[in-house]
Amino acid sequence: MLYRVRVGCPWRDLPQAFGPWTTIYQRFRAWAASGKWRRIFHACIVDPDLEWAFMDGSYAKAHQHSAGASGGQPQAIGASRAGRTTKIHLAVDAYGLPITFEITGGQINDCSIGPSLVDAIPRVDIMIADKGYDSRRVRAAIQTRSSRPVIPRRRHSKRANPDFDSGLYRYRHLVENAFARLKQYRAIACRFDKLKTHYEAVVAMACALLWLPM
């Protein structure tokens, strides 16, 4: 499974040394449906630095092989002028290591997912995000947990922003670096999976690997 996540090959093209590809795929599908890979990812999170946390979203192009899911199951693939895309909404700790994520269609904006992303992580002292998260709902979700939002205002906003700290905001590259590391896995950089649960499992595998000492 990890080999396929790394190289992004079709399941049927797995090396024969791994055994029948159908057996591997069926096991992957069962584990994805049960949420096992996400639980493994959460089990790998040990002593995160939650003084600061960062959140952001990043697009992944949906390959033509990801089309045609049957049974009406959720896909989390959006269509726009840029084509078919999926969006990974990620939160990382002060070390830049992933602590939670959500998968949506590419057309979903950041501020609509921000509150649920905030609720999914332990309390942090400071939550840092870009202006895509500049909404009352996101700020309220952060402040409700006694955390401080460091989020720039949108260009034409006239509201005050007393919590903004430009020095802390410079460290937002940590979440961008996390996306760069995740997209070294080809099955994440380009989505081949038809179902949302399958792509979530792929992202969870890679997030777990980032926590393992290498």
**65-69, 94-98, 145-149, 152-156: range with lowest mean pLDDT:** 65-69
Residue 150 to residue 131: CA distance in whole angstroms: 10
Class of domain 2-211: alpha beta
> ∠ CA 110-44-30 to the nearest 5 degrees?
80
pLDDT at position 21 is 96
Q: Which residues make Cβ contacts (< 8 Å) with residue 165, sequence separation at least 6?
A: 126, 150
Q: Closest Cα partner for 60 from 156, 210, 202?
A: 202
Total Cβ atoms within 10 A of residue 171:
15
Does pTM surpass 0.85?
yes
pLDDT of 111 above 90: yes
Assign 64 a pLDDT band (cuts: 50, 70, 90). Answer: confident
**pLDDT band for position 71 (cuts 50, 70, 90):** low
How does pLDDT run across 33-42, given as a tens digit for each residue?
999 999 999 9
Question: Cβ-count burial of 132 within 10 angstroms (0-12 exposed, 13-18 middle, 19+ buried)?
Answer: middle
150 with 128: CB under 8 angstroms?
A: yes
